[in-house]
Structure 1
Amino acid sequence: MTLLDQIKKKAEEIYPLIVEHRRYLHRFPELSFQEHCTVAFIRDCLYKAGIDPQPIGDTGLLARIEGGLPGDKLVLLRADIDALPIHELRQTEYTSANPGVMHACGHDAHTASLIGVAMILHSIRDSFAGTVKLLFQPAEEILPGGACQMIREGVLEEPGLIGVIGQHVMPALPAGRIALRKGRFMASKDDLHITVNGRGGHGAQPQENVDPVVIAAHIVIALQQLVSRFSHPATPSVLSIGRFLANGAINVIPDKVEMQGAFRTMDENWRYDAHAKMRKMAIGIAESMGGTCEFRIETGYPFLVNADDLTDNVAVFAGEYLGENNIEEAAIWMASEDFAYYSQQTDACFYLLGTGNESAGIKASLHSPDFDIDESALLLSTGLMAYVALRQLGNNT
């Protein structure tokens, strides 16, 4: 039996169990760096499969599976395990039992899939060469991100590492397909916290006041020039102000306005140049109109870049496993992911796993309270990642 046949057969055998695992994780989600029960569940699943994982960081878990054939190459596979502070609306038998917490970004599917990958690889360990490390990473959803802690703990430092591979569910892509892209793929993200200070008073006497609402409005409009006039047209950039709080009244000008937003791009030099420009712009506008501006930037994840050779390989191997017709090129995605930290330090490939099924009503976007997946994707997600890892290690089909 070929390696491909072995993996597909094992993936089919464990598929019902992986669905059960995903539903359990979905029902009992935990927020970033609070994933204690999640980690206990993962550890128990791996123990039952004969795998002895080790803790890493605060709430991470790292498993290692060594092939029985000679080989010194190593591949790292990563799944994120945390949930979001969202109250789930979709009613199923596995709806979140933790009010206000939900796996709305598919990390339950990532985790269950990687458990399945571990089970497959362990069961056929005598048939392949090389080593696969499986990282169950906490806290992807909050800054500074769990990936930073994993890197500080040395997860990338082992000799022989030839790449890091991860997958992310994508409801806009039908189940049974994947999408991937070489080079720049996902954006950096920095959180903007802006306070405009003026002098409030009666709305009928604006000449007696310094109106922070007008100042803030000018700043919002002016900041858009960062994208439209200062950034290079070939460099994707997005700046959005999503929160604008002016706590006055119909006839009351407030003392201050608070704003929050995000800046995203795909060039690290331009990113920090933009930080300086937006600060200078906002502070200058406020002062020119008689107010002051406090501009704080919370630096987030870098942009995610997929290594050309590794991504080409993953596309070929995925085509062998799924069929070439089920592989497509992904568009640039302006969301951000802390997997980017791995990609900035070593060869990495992050691909999208189709989980949508419009005819079944499974089409809600990521981070939506109605989010769900077509669980048939779990049959592919386990076998595919196992196969890709072993092929990248140099094992034949």
Structure 2
Amino acid sequence: MSEIGARLRDALHAELPAAYRLRRELHAEPCLSGQEEPTLKRVLDALPEGSAMERVAGTGALLRVGGDGLAVGVRGELDALPIPEETGVPWASQNGAMHACGHDVHLAALVALTRAIDHVKAPAPMVAVLQPREEGPPSGARDIVESGALQRNLIGAMIAAHVQPVLAAGQTACTPGAVNASADQFTVIVKGQGGHAAYPHLARDPILALAQVIVAAQQLVSRDADPMTPTVVTFGTVVAGSAPNAIPGQAAARGTIRTMSESWRRHLHQRFHELAEGVARAYGCEAEMRITYGDPVLVNDARLAEETGCILVDAAHHMPATLRSCGADDFAHFASVVPSLMLFVGTDTKAGLHSPYFLPGDDTVRALAESLLAGYLGAAQVIGAGQGH
């Protein structure tokens, strides 16, 4: 690690005790998407005074440290999930919401990094991007991008890190290319003709037709998608009927459709429409298909990944070769407009993301803060080289 990197690491470590305390405060009082004002206020109170700050996306903010010029943006998510916590720790949430996706860890680590960069003459300015509504629509990241805030704040690269329990504690994945899938929601409504269950020949059964649509949709993955392109079609809800001895007039299902290829994503939507309509018609029914676009594919910039990976190795972090997931993150909206890098940091808990038992320890706060520092240093090198420094 460079001399400036070592100084920043030491400054970061000095901030960790306060970061651990902040994490517990944030964890105890989580706020849902769109209601993050109390969380934002607490985080801003913990950040350096006198820094340039811009409010964005309603309950979000951007805060600059380290001077003027082209900056590295580092994202932290403000919102929690509507999940009652069951960890049993003294600082567990009691309000029916929970930081079950690690956003409290992300925010505490981001505060520690921001304060360290404010204290040490850093190689590039940094903008802490305090983002609302990562867990629920409308996307906070998309709103920030569309507002022009990245351009106004001269952000030349974006960095984020996410806790990931599929990795062991002490591991950090820094993978170039597509690392998270696009995530869209669909609704299929099949309309038939209701009737008495004893006389199915006088009806057109939408439940039967919808069941065939559900089965046939799996062929989009096994026979339409390139086997080298991860694709997921999952039905999460199926609703039909109100009586066991009656065929209803319609049946509906909702789910998610994901892929790691933006070009295949558009074609996949078209094929899904064709399949639903064709299968329903074969059973004497009609299908109405609606797809709502969500987050795009998250693509890590290759050069950011390379520079950051070298710093992580130098700092004695163990990195798995790759980590790619059909999970989604609206950080992808940042990656669509500026070079960006999402890191995945292993945890010391076996509970999965969005579990009511998910509770990484203090070591995960430290590991995530160190990974953000590596990402910041890697990005500083990339944007510095781009300016001819």
Query: What is the TM-score of this pair, normalised by structure 1?
Result: 0.91
Q: Which amino acid is the alignment partner of residue 12 of structure 2?
A: A
- 1:194 correspondence with 2:188: yes
Cα offset for 1:263? 0.5
Pairwise mapping of residues 340-351 of structure 1 onto structure 2 (< 5 A)?
A: 340-351=332-343
Cα offset for 1:135? 0.2
Pairwise mapping of residues 248-397 of structure 1 onto structure 2 (< 5 A)?
A: 248-321=242-315, 323-324=316-317, 326-355=318-347, 357=348, 362-394=349-381
Q: Which amino acid is the alignment partner of residue 361 of structure 2?
A: D
Identical residues among aligned pairs (%): 32
Contact 1:184–1:303 (Cα < 8 Å) also in 2: yes
Contact 2:60–2:131 (Cα < 8 Å) also in 1: yes
| Residue number in structure 2 paired with 1:95 | 92
Pairwise mapping of residues 1-397 of structure 1 onto structure 2 (< 5 A)?
A: 2-47=3-48, 51=51, 53-67=53-67, 72-99=69-96, 101-124=97-120, 127-158=121-152, 161-321=155-315, 323-324=316-317, 326-355=318-347, 357=348, 362-394=349-381
Q: Which amino acid is the alignment partner of residue 360 of structure 2?
A: I
In structure 2, the CA distance between the partners of 1:315 and 1:109, relative to structure 1 (3 Å rule), is same
In structure 2, the CA distance between the partners of 1:149 and 1:160, relative to structure 1 (3 Å rule), is closer
What CA distance in whole angstroms lies between the structure 2 residues aligned with 1:200 and 1:88? Answer: 43
Q: Which amino acid is the alignment partner of residue 343 of structure 1?
A: A
Cα offset for 1:365? 0.6
**1:128 partner SS:** coil
What CA distance in whole angstroms lies between the structure 2 residues aligned with 1:224 and 1:381? Answer: 37
Post-superposition Cα deviations, 1:192-243, rounded to whole Å, max 9, x if no partner, equal 1111122223221111211111000111111112111111222111111111
Segment of structure 1 superposing worse, 338-347 or 376-385: 376-385
Contact 1:43–1:53 (Cα < 8 Å) also in 2: no
What CA distance in whole angstroms lies between the structure 1 residues aligned with 2:153 and 2:47? Answer: 25
Post-superposition Cα deviations, 1:17-71, rounded to whole Å, max 9, x if no partner, equal 1111111111111111110111111111115x5545331120111110125xxx8
Cα offset for 1:72? 4.3
In structure 2, the CA distance between the partners of 1:159 and 1:115, relative to structure 1 (3 Å rule), is closer
Q: Which amino acid is the alignment partner of residue 285 of structure 2?
A: G
Post-superposition Cα deviations, 1:307-326, rounded to whole Å, max 9, x if no partner, equal 111111111112222x15x1
Contact 1:120–1:386 (Cα < 8 Å) also in 2: no
**1:129 partner SS:** coil
**2:335 partner SS:** helix
CA RMSD of aligned residues (A): 2.0
Contact 1:7–1:387 (Cα < 8 Å) also in 2: no
What CA distance in whole angstroms lies between the structure 1 residues aligned with 2:240 and 2:374? Answer: 54
Q: Which amino acid is the alignment partner of residue 367 of structure 1?
A: H
Q: Which amino acid is the alignment partner of residue 381 of structure 1?
A: L
What CA distance in whole angstroms lies between the structure 2 residues aligned with 1:209 and 1:155? Answer: 56
Q: Which amino acid is the alignment partner of residue 75 of structure 2?
A: R
Contact 2:185–2:293 (Cα < 8 Å) also in 1: yes
Q: Which amino acid is the alignment partner of residue 199 of structure 1?
A: Q
Unaligned runs of 5+ in 1: none
What CA distance in whole angstroms lies between the structure 2 residues aligned with 1:363 and 1:374? Answer: 12
Cα offset for 1:257? 1.2
Cα offset for 1:344? 1.7
Cα offset for 1:144? 3.6
Q: Which amino acid is the alignment partner of residue 200 of structure 1?
A: G
What CA distance in whole angstroms lies between the structure 2 residues aligned with 1:251 and 1:388? Answer: 61
Matched length: 381
Cα offset for 1:3? 2.4
Q: Which amino acid is the alignment partner of residue 108 of structure 2?
A: A
What CA distance in whole angstroms lies between the structure 2 residues aligned with 1:236 and 1:152? Answer: 29
Contact 1:200–1:210 (Cα < 8 Å) also in 2: yes
**1:166 partner SS:** strand
**1:345 partner SS:** coil
What CA distance in whole angstroms lies between the structure 1 residues aligned with 2:244 and 2:229? Answer: 42
**2:151 partner SS:** coil
In structure 2, the CA distance between the partners of 1:280 and 1:130, relative to structure 1 (3 Å rule), is same
**1:327 partner SS:** coil
Contact 1:144–1:301 (Cα < 8 Å) also in 2: no
Contact 2:308–2:374 (Cα < 8 Å) also in 1: no
What CA distance in whole angstroms lies between the structure 2 residues aligned with 1:391 and 1:237? Answer: 31
Cα offset for 1:370? 1.3
Contact 1:11–1:120 (Cα < 8 Å) also in 2: yes
Q: Which amino acid is the alignment partner of residue 346 of structure 1?
A: V
What CA distance in whole angstroms lies between the structure 1 residues aligned with 2:125 and 2:224? Answer: 47
